[in-house]
Amino acid sequence: MNSPVSLDRLRAATPGVEHVLHFNNAGAALPPDVVLSTVISHLEREATIGGYEAATEATDRLEAVYDSLATLLGAKPDQMAVVENATRAWDMAVYGYPFMAGDRVLTCRGEYVSNVLALLQLQERHGIEVVLIEDDEHGQIDLDHLEDELAQGAAMVALTHAPTNGGLINPAAAVGALCEEHGAFYVLDACQSAGQVPLDVGILKCDVLSGTGRKYLRGPRGTGFLYAGPRALERIEPPFLDLHAAEWTGDRTYEIRTDARRFENWETYYAGKLGLGAAIDYTLELGVEATSKRILALGSELRSALDALDAVTTHDKGKIRGGIVTFAVDGIRSEDVQAQLSAQRINTSTSPAGHARLDLPHRGLPTLVRASVHYYNSEDEVDRFVSAVEQLR
């Protein structure tokens, strides 16, 4: 980490660890106390002086959130928008793209369910063609297949960096290099990777990047963000506008703002926005490169320990694997595994096969249990988790 920070200090700043063994960080991580206090203090200020007045009072701190986001992603503040969640950020860019009939959109087997549903709707609406890029021998997006399809022409590549249903971290920078070479517009879903691994849009070469506050950044729920690069700001008109995204210049005329905030709307979650900024600043202070190493190491430790159990099989893919670990227990439905662990105050989630139709059914897999670690989790928690799984009935 940027300066040595002990695990004890990290856990002391995370109130939730006193109550649960939390391995559901890919759902929503436990926030540090600075995020909790930031959100609560602004809500209290709204209750004391009024919502509009509290927002005006916090103007400088709200503006600083864009600076923090830009630092996190290697971007410029005017290329950042803060919206409700990662899916809405992704939607604002992709639904606003000027598709023409016959445009080809390339995507991967690990693409997030909401993104696939949107692409299928856009296929019906605009007559685009959604092309599936196969996995390579490691289970990540096949770069050779991708290059072959790009050579045939593609308007867009939509890639989920770290799929929700497994440990895979896709080679996003290599995909970006191929998109740049072939002139394809590149949309990167970083919902699970923001805060889990370092992100630099200059290295990734993406035109759009969407992310969330609640997962590996440890921010509040109901917060998300969008990076819109030069080509995105040039090409994309938001699918809907309001008085924040555009100016009403005459009775029948308007002008859309030139920066990424065109993708926002006027009413926003101010307390959450400040909490998101606090979470990003906390992340930057620790250093993403250092915390990422710990997350990936804990994920590997958990994966290996579960694989060593006779009745348990992990099902993660990828040459590089992160902190999300999916597994199945022989003879026990994944939903029942989750319920039994929850009864012991151990938090996990499930990855339903119906939410990953391009991946799990393709591999002949049912719904899986998803355990996802964070840097504030301890090695002792890994041992306790594995012991609890071993004792399931």
Q: Which residues pair with 372 in a beta bridge?
A: 24, 324
Q: Which of 352, 324, 317, 356 is nearest to 113 (CA)?
A: 356
Question: Residue 2 pLDDT > 70, yes or no?
Answer: no
How far apart, in whole angstroms, are the C-alpha atoms of residue 141 and residue 162?
11
Question: Would you state the pLDDT for residue 4?
Answer: 57
CB 349 within 8 A of CB 370: yes
Helix (H, G, I), strand (E, B) or coil at 294: helix
* pLDDT interval class at 53 (50, 70, 90): very high
How far apart, in whole angstroms, are the C-alpha atoms of residue 351 and residue 369?
6
CA distances from residue 334 to 14, 186, 229, 352, 366 in whole angstroms, order as listed: 28, 35, 41, 9, 9
Q: What is the mean pLDDT of residues 138-145?
A: 98
In whole angstroms, what separates CA 67 from the centre of its chain? 19
How far apart, in whole angstroms, are the C-alpha atoms of residue 217 and residue 31?
8
Neighbours of 310 (CB within 10 A): 7
Helix (H, G, I), strand (E, B) or coil at 29: coil
Question: Residue 74 pLDDT > 80, yes or no?
Answer: yes
Sheet strands (E) in 206-335: 208-212, 224-228, 246-250, 253-256, 312-314, 324-329
How far apart, in whole angstroms, are the C-alpha atoms of residue 145 and residue 169?
18
* CB within 8 Å of 221: residues ≥ 6 apart: 28, 213, 214, 272
Q: How far apart are the first and last CA of the chain?
A: 40
- Per the prediction, the chain carries an average pLDDT of 97
* pTM for the model: 0.96
* pLDDT interval class at 393 (50, 70, 90): confident
Could you report the per-residue pLDDT of 106-126, keeping only the tens digit for each?
999 999 999 999 999 999 999
| Structural class in CATH, domain 7-31+288-390 | alpha beta
Per-domain boundaries in the chain: 7-31+288-390, 37-285
In degrees and rounded to multiples of 5, residue 276 shows phi and psi of: -60, -45
CATH annotation of 37-285: 3.40.640.10
Q: What is the mean pLDDT of residues 297-317?
A: 97
The proportion of the chain whose per-residue pLDDT surpasses 90, expressed as a percent, equals 98
Question: Would you state the pLDDT for residue 3?
Answer: 47
Q: What is the mean pLDDT of residues 182-189?
A: 98
Could you report the per-residue pLDDT of 315-373, keeping only the tens digit for each?
999 999 999 999 999 999 999 999 999 999 999 999 999 999 999 999 999 999 999 99
